[in-house]
Amino acid sequence: MAHVRIFDTTLRDGEQTPGVALNTAQKIEIAKQLARLNVDIIEAGFPITSQGDFEAVSRIAREVQGPVICALARTARADVERAAESIEHAGAGRIHVFTSGSPIHLEHMLRKTEAEVLEATAVNVTLARQYTDDVEFSAQDCTRADLGFLIRLYTAAVTAGATTINIPDTVGYGMPEEYGTLVRAIREGVPGAEGVHVSTHCHDDLGLAVANSLAAVGAGATQVECTINGIGERAGNASLEEVVMALETRKDFWGHTTQIATRELYRTSRMVSMMTGTMVPPNKAVVGDNAFAHESGIHQDGVIKAVETYEIMSAETVGRDAGVLVMGKHSGRRAFRKTLVEMGYEELGDDEFNALFTQFKSLCDRKQTVTSDDIRALVDVETARVPQTYLLESVQFQSGTAMTPMATVKLTTDTGTYEEAATGDGPVDAVYKALERIAQVPLTLEGYEIRSVGSGKDALGEVTVRVSSEGRSVHGRGLSTDVVEASAKAYVDVLNKLAAGVGRASAAGVATP
């Protein structure tokens, strides 16, 4: 069976999701998990845009083994040189050179003629090849471009030494059949294309990114660009887990395989959701909470009799178990460590493990049965933690139908312990006002989401908040069996991230694609 390469762009296109900002440590964590997932290529960033992006790509290139590490560059000498410098120490490194292909982009964005775009492409792909044998070329907005110009453009790139040609549907405009036809036309019309990889990069503006990517595979593409949970600009990119499981589940139809370790999919999805603060909708294919849940009696009856009646793939294949009871209050450190290793968390350091064990024990005091889902949620929160400038000591609140909600919070910082009380529209509002008084940082709550980890009255509540402060946007998460406490923890997580300098860095005047 033919091999389809999976090119993950969670750290580059995915990081362009509105409100998402990852720090270097988080990017390295995600890149290591992508290596465990066994993706072929990791697009680690766009180094010319900021010093932070450059450092993240360089460190991933040094520290993450396995996948090819790719850096993005426009058709400009400074971009290509900066990208080359960032991947210098990679085991295998790629430079991804891009321009635009449509008249709309040429006229309004690049302000260049076709001849100028052709010239810049030839020059900069040639330059990139001086640094690495692995060069990818993309022309944005192919689905609204003239085919004749695209053929000339991709021919120039292949002639200059591009080893992968990527055909982006930048604005999610293409229809599957139409996009497949475009990919085939470029593959067949560009001299030398048979000797290079043809790649697909689809956005989800009309909900067709995965369908379009698969149509491209049907038309001969051998690389799919995608992101975990489908995050990315606007409506996002093709979702990696959906593309991979469609190819895997229907290999009878596609006749292709990927090298993805599918059992790592769920864990990767949780990690990315956690670190980016983007919640996965419950009905999301493959990784959503309900993706393997059977609600109707007829379905439940069918699945009990024979699981294949309503399941086309097993939850285990994508790394999900039933969230069954794994531990209780009598479990010791050794048993807890063993469970973590069995769940795939073998690389936790001693400090992380100790913090987790303390949280696990306090959870056992509040919850009768601790499931693997609970443990996964604890690990996700713990591994996303930044240095604890603020420590939540306690939160108390009172509210009811006939009273003004009131809260008192106690926070410890390196200068002492502080307590404040406030009233609000509800208990969460009161808690947030009290926290703001202590921290004296201007905060605007832009998003608040809550989900239950598992079911039952004592289930853990997981709160995600998006907060802006002085031009920076930060996500925070909190976990507790008490939702007001979980809300307080999420806000304190934001304060700690702001103190640690996490937040979307400005792009030094470089527009991201």
Task: Tell me, by CB under 6 A, how many residues bind ligand KIV.
Answer: 10
Give min distance, CB of 98 to ligand KIV, in A: 4
Does 491 help bind ligand KIV (rule: CB under 6 A)? Answer: no
Q: Which of 13/241 has CB closer to Zn ion?
A: 13
Residue 278: both structure tokens together: 């983007």
* Residue choice 187, 201, 376, 475 for contact with ligand KIV (CB under 6 A): 201
Q: Which of 238/460 has CB closer to Zn ion?
A: 238
Q: Which of 46/345 has CB closer to ligand KIV?
A: 46
* Residue choice 28, 57, 86, 98 for contact with ligand KIV (CB under 6 A): 98
* DSSP, res 307: G
Q: Which parts of 11-50 interact with ligand KIV (CB under 6 A)?
A: 13
Rounded Cα gap, residues 197 and 201, in angstroms: 13
Give min distance, CB of 300 to Zn ion, in A: 41
Interface contacts to Zn ion, rule CB under 5 A: 13
User: Cβ(379)–Cβ(356) under 8 Å?
Assistant: yes
User: Cβ(286)–Cβ(45) under 8 Å?
Assistant: no
Residue 134 interacting partner from Zn ion, ligand KIV, none (CB closer than 5 to 8 Å by kind)? none
Residue 319 interacting partner from Zn ion, ligand KIV, none (CB closer than 5 to 8 Å by kind)? none
Residue 140 interacting partner from ligand KIV, Zn ion, none (CB closer than 5 to 8 Å by kind)? ligand KIV
Please tell me whether residue 239 adopts helix, strand or coil conformation: strand
Please tell me whether residue 493 adopts helix, strand or coil conformation: helix
Q: Which of 141/380 has CB closer to ligand KIV?
A: 141
Q: Which of 58/140 has CB closer to ligand KIV?
A: 140
Residue 45: both structure tokens together: 């960033």
Helices (H), 170-296: 176-189, 209-218, 240-249, 251-254, 265-276
Please tell me whether residue 479 adopts helix, strand or coil conformation: strand
User: Cβ(411)–Cβ(438) under 8 Å?
Assistant: yes
Rounded Cα gap, residues 112 and 96, in angstroms: 20
Give min distance, CB of 201 to ligand KIV, in A: 5
Residue 138 interacting partner from Zn ion, ligand KIV, none (CB closer than 5 to 8 Å by kind)? ligand KIV
Q: Which parts of 358-417 interact with ligand KIV (CB under 6 A)?
A: none
Rounded Cα gap, residues 44 and 10, in angstroms: 8
How many CB atoms lie under 10 A from the CB of residue 361? 15
Give min distance, CB of 156 to ligand KIV, in A: 17
Q: Which of 41/498 has CB closer to ligand KIV?
A: 41
Quote the crossing angle between the two packed helices 372-383 and 350-366, to the nearest 10°.
140
Q: Chain-centre distance of CA 231, in angstroms?
A: 6
Q: Which of 104/322 has CB closer to ligand KIV?
A: 104
Q: Which parts of 152-181 interact with ligand KIV (CB under 6 A)?
A: 166, 168, 170
Give min distance, CB of 421 to Zn ion, in A: 48
- Short-list 189, 286, 288, CA closest to 245: 286
Q: Which of 139/245 has CB closer to ligand KIV?
A: 139
- Residue written as token pair 């998006």: 466
Residue 98 interacting partner from Zn ion, ligand KIV, none (CB closer than 5 to 8 Å by kind)? ligand KIV
Does 137 help bind ligand KIV (rule: CB under 6 A)? Answer: no
- Short-list 45, 229, 70, 207, CA closest to 136: 70
- Amino acid identity of residue 132, one-letter, is T
Question: Residue numbers of the site for ligand KIV (CB under 6 A)?
Answer: 13, 98, 138, 140, 166, 168, 170, 201, 203, 513
